[in-house]
Amino acid sequence: MRLAAFAPSIPVNLVSSLESLGIRTDADFLFSFSAYDIFQQLPPGTTSLQDLMQYKDIVAELSAAPGVSGTDLLTQAQSQTQSPKLSTGIMELDSLLGDLRGLIEVSGDRGSGKSTVALNTLLNYLVNDSEGKALWIDTTGGFSVEVASIVLARYTSEPSTALERLEVTLAFDIDALNEILGDVFSTDPLTSQFRFIVIDSITPIISPLLDQTTAHGHAVMIDLMRSLREFCQTQSAVMLVINNTAAISQLNPEHRKPALGPSFAFISDATLWLELREPESAASGATDENGDCTRHSIEVLRSKVSLSGKSRSFQIQCHVIIA
């Protein structure tokens, strides 16, 4: 990891001086030279030898993977069984979604049904848990109360307080997102109000931070994802993080994969991949406002909590998932 990612734990001016000496990563700083050798090469007044040794200890601590005991892992796994289940009310689809827990990446091209799946599962949770509360973090301004009302009507014909228990908030950059999540994370675990959270989508927040010349954006992404996963584990919550797609290679731009790279995917507990198949003819029975419903597929690309490789087909009509 580049030393710039450790600021402000180590001073920015020290990072700049170290980089001018060719010491750019934590491995360079910890293993290439002794603290005394580095101190001798630094410009006078940059830092003291004692402080430099302390900064080495800080970098070593921050860059080390924390140990986790088997007991802690078992406790985390057991707590996740108490988290809300993903359910659309359709048996075949729920057989694929119902075992998923924790932090779940939902990826696919535009129009594949990512937001629709998230909204349907979230509202179904609120309908079936009269005390449940949910949070929708909208990063594109695309959330529609009208659409939410249409979807809600599919899950209940009775008066419902579901939309009153759904909080929608906007976040258009990483600072706004961190501020929202800071308020959520600071809540006492025993009184946490949100057990179902959707971020739609994470890609426009993280993509501008990623740079081929520095690892700072990557470090921000990893830190964010670890915080989200820790929240899911400690609060027995489920969180759907919607991620856009990127081309697998410039030679095959039509072949897509989840954006933001493999590090993003492997910190999550599962990755769902959605695809738009083909429109169903109105004559086949179901029509939406455009005269057609659309057929989609959903696949568990990878999962730490269930079998990977399973897939199901489903249809969407007027923003509502149907069999």
Write out the DSSP string of 55-118.
HHHHHHHHHSPPP--HHHHHHHHHHHTTSPPP--S-HHHHHHHTT--SEEEEEESTTSSHHHHH
Reported confidence tier of residue 158, pLDDT bands at 50, 70, 90: confident
Is 276 or 84 the better-scoring residue by pLDDT? Answer: 276
pLDDT computed for residue 214 by the predictor: 65
Res 290 pLDDT > 80: no
Q: 207-220, pLDDT tens digit by residue? A: 998 876 667 788 88
Contact 306, 300 (CB under 8 A): yes
Counting residues of the chain whose pLDDT is more than 90, the rounded percentage is 54
How large is the average pLDDT for residues 12-41? 90
Res 127 pLDDT > 80: yes
Res 284 pLDDT > 70: no
Q: What is the pTM of this model?
A: 0.74
Q: 30-61, pLDDT tens digit by residue? A: 888 899 999 999 999 999 999 999 999 988 88
Residue with tokens 């979230």: 122
How large is the average pLDDT for residues 242-265? 85
Closest CA to 135 of 207, 237, 222: 237
Neighbours of 36 (CB within 10 A): 10
Residue with tokens 């700083």: 29
Reported confidence tier of residue 76, pLDDT bands at 50, 70, 90: low
Res 288 pLDDT > 60: no
Peptide bond into 186 cis (omega under 30): no
How many Å from the N-terminal Cα to the C-terminal Cα in the chain?
Answer: 47
Distances (CA, A) of 28 to 8, 20, 60, 107, 189: 18, 13, 11, 36, 39
Neighbours of 193 (CB within 10 A): 14
Q: Is 161 helix (H, G, I), strand (E, B) or coil?
A: coil
Residue 186 corresponds to which tokens in the numbers above? 């600071």
* Edge-to-edge order in the sheet of strand 270-280: 166-170, 134-138, 196-200, 238-243, 103-108, 270-280, 293-303, 311-317, 320-322
Please give the distance of CA 138 from its chain centroid, rounded to a whole number. Answer: 13
How large is the average pLDDT for residues 233-252? 88
Is 187 or 271 the better-scoring residue by pLDDT? Answer: 271
Q: Is 201 helix (H, G, I), strand (E, B) or coil?
A: coil
Q: 241-250, pLDDT tens digit by residue? A: 999 998 887 7
Peptide bond into 8 cis (omega under 30): yes
pLDDT computed for residue 238 by the predictor: 94
pLDDT computed for residue 287 by the predictor: 44
What is residue 41's DSSP assignment?
Answer: H
Q: How far apart are CA 51 and CA 39, in angstroms?
A: 10
What is residue 133's DSSP assignment?
Answer: -
Q: What is the mean pLDDT of the chain?
A: 86
Q: How far apart are CA 101 and CA 238, in angstroms?
A: 6
Residue 201 corresponds to which tokens in the numbers above? 């989508």
Q: How far apart are CA 178 and CA 172, in angstroms?
A: 11
pLDDT computed for residue 82 by the predictor: 65
Identity of residue 149: S
